[in-house]
């Protein structure tokens, strides 16, 4: 498994893969990985020659600075987990690597951005579109894999892909749940039994 921290290094590696005619699958994450993430990697492995996973806690999608600060970061363990399921590439950039300049782009998602989570998390979906488009530009995947737990986010990403004209297939994958039925999430580790 290859671990890259810079755009230049992952770009060179992906170019070689593409020259060899390989299909590149991509799973964008914010780390603190669990079986839900690993299921996405396993699905990508079934239909792609090379699977890349990004681990990047994206500041532009947090409307609460305290939430960003306490978001779990477990890179060393994440890398071990990814290795165990046959991931080929891990991209773990710094904020400066993703945003050498502030990203001031504003996306318009219309109705799908204005309902459900939209009003409760102002700016969140715009930040998601900013980071995922940046990652797509860097990794240049043929297919990208997302969990249905984030149903509205998948709709946002499909809209962004259409708006920006990406030729990337967005693959939605089933929700993976805890034994008690709760959808797996990196934030679950912040919950108390009462929560």
The residues annotated as belonging to the active site are: 37
Q: Tell me how crowded residue 30 is: count the other CB atoms within 10 A of its CB.
A: 20
Structure-token match 């990508």, residue found: 44
Residue 129 has what DSSP assignment?
Answer: H
Q: Which of 60-99 are b and which e, b meaning 16 or more Cβ less than 10 Å from the residue's Cβ?
A: bbbeeeeeeeebeeeeeebbebbeebebbbbbbbeeebbb
Ramachandran category for residue 144: left, alpha or beta (phi over 0 → left; psi -120 to 50 → alpha): beta
> How far is the C-alpha of 146 from the C-alpha of 153, rounded, in Å?
9
Report residue 174 CA to chain centroid gap. 16
């Amino acid at each position: 498994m290859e671990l890259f921290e810079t755009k230049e290094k992952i770009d060179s590696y992906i170019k070689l893969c593409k020259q060899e005619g390989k299909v590149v699958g991509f799973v964008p994450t914010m780390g603190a990985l669990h079986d839900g993430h690993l299921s996405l990697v396993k699905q990508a492995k079934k239909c792609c020659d090379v699977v890349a996973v990004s681990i990047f806690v994206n500041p532009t999608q947090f409307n609460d600075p305290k939430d960003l600060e306490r978001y779990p970061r477990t890179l060393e363990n994440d890398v071990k987990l990814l290795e165990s399921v046959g991931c080929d590439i891990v991209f773990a950039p710094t904020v400066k690597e993703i945003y050498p300049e502030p990203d001031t782009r504003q996306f318009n998602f219309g109705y799908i951005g204005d309902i459900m989570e939209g009003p409760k998390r102002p700016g969140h979906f715009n930040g998601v579109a900013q980071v995922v488009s940046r990652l797509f530009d860097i990794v240049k995947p043929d297919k990208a894999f997302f969990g249905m737990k984030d149903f509205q986010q998948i709709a946002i990403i499909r809209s962004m892909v259409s708006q920006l004209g990406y030729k990337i297939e967005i693959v939605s994958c089933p929700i993976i749940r805890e034994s008690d039925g709760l959808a797996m999430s990196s934030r679950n580790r912040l919950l108390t039994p009462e929560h």
